[in-house]
Copies of this chain bind each other. A is one copy, B any other.
């Protein structure tokens, strides 16, 4: 168990060492790298012998790594609800418990998304006033060519299925604070994902959400955007219900796969294409960056008292290291506290719509 007094001095991040396609090797390696580059303390939760054996071969700062052993692991193809019940000592559940008990200030996992959400919900209280937590994906936009750091946020991408007016407004508030404080986007703009630009589009819930967001002076609401505007970066924060966000995110990922497939096909079949691909590799790399989520570390689960970062299942060490850094920054900047404050303020100001 970690030393509580130390936990109060520095930022402590609990890391599920067993979750993800390349666990535990890449997860432990990423955590080790984080201890070399920062003062963050990491609690690696998982199979102690395996973790120790990786650490023995990996440069790291010993003072900043603790291992919490467990031999239970939730696999990617486990049914989330059952897994959380049947494996109460699974690595991601123990990581969540550390956060819930105040022994860690945030957590990172690249494991089973559904089980991870349930793990967080089991041990970490929601922030006061928050109706639903949401997962936000951070993605680079077309503007990324010009401004290297141009990211945007899409939420919710699957913590929920359908959402009401108040839920969507809270997503806007949470997304805005995360975009400005963690991603460093000044005065982020907010948009509602819809099937048309007009205020009345998309049915009752969306049109009422539109009307309510218009009444919030500081939110930076620019109106509805459509599917083709997502990658353009027209808005810094795009709000939608989990069902739609999930499908959109995976559609974009699917297109990245299609591109790779075409690349391989071209590579196999035409010598001229092969030469072209080599010459174009710089351009193709940019293209890959725009569509490959594994380059961008983690997706925050917003609305909990502590920050919960879901790293992509295909995360390598670098992505895990970045996710740990983002979790620590989120804690140090008091982002969760700010979210609670803004939600309290906006709930007072806005007319309850449901």
What is A's interface to B at a CB cutoff of 8 Å?
79, 114, 142, 145, 158, 161-162, 193-196, 198, 202-203, 226-232, 240, 242-244, 246-255, 257-259, 261-263, 265-266, 270, 272-273, 275-283, 286-287, 290-291
A161 pairs with B231, CB closer than 8 A: no
Residues of B within 8 Å of A258, CB to CB, are 142, 231-232, 290
CB distance from A135 to the nearest CB of B (A): 11
Integer count of this chain's copies in the complex: 2
Residues of B within 8 Å of A244, CB to CB, are 243-244, 247
**Nearest B residue to A277, CB-CB:** B280
A283 pairs with B276, CB closer than 8 A: yes
A262 pairs with B287, CB closer than 8 A: yes
Query: From DSSP, what is the main secondary structure of chain A's interface residues?
Result: helix
A243 pairs with B202, CB closer than 8 A: yes
A263 to B290, CA, bound (A): 13
26 A-B pairs whose Cβ atoms sit less than 8 Å apart in the complex: A114-B196, A142-B261, A142-B262, A161-B195, A161-B202, A162-B203, A194-B247, A195-B242, A227-B246, A227-B247, A227-B251, A227-B252, A228-B257, A229-B254, A230-B251, A230-B254, A231-B251, A231-B258, A244-B247, A247-B247, A247-B248, A266-B280, A270-B282, A270-B283, A273-B279, A275-B276
Residues of B within 8 Å of A287, CB to CB, are 259, 262
Residues of B within 8 Å of A162, CB to CB, are 203
A195 pairs with B246, CB closer than 8 A: yes
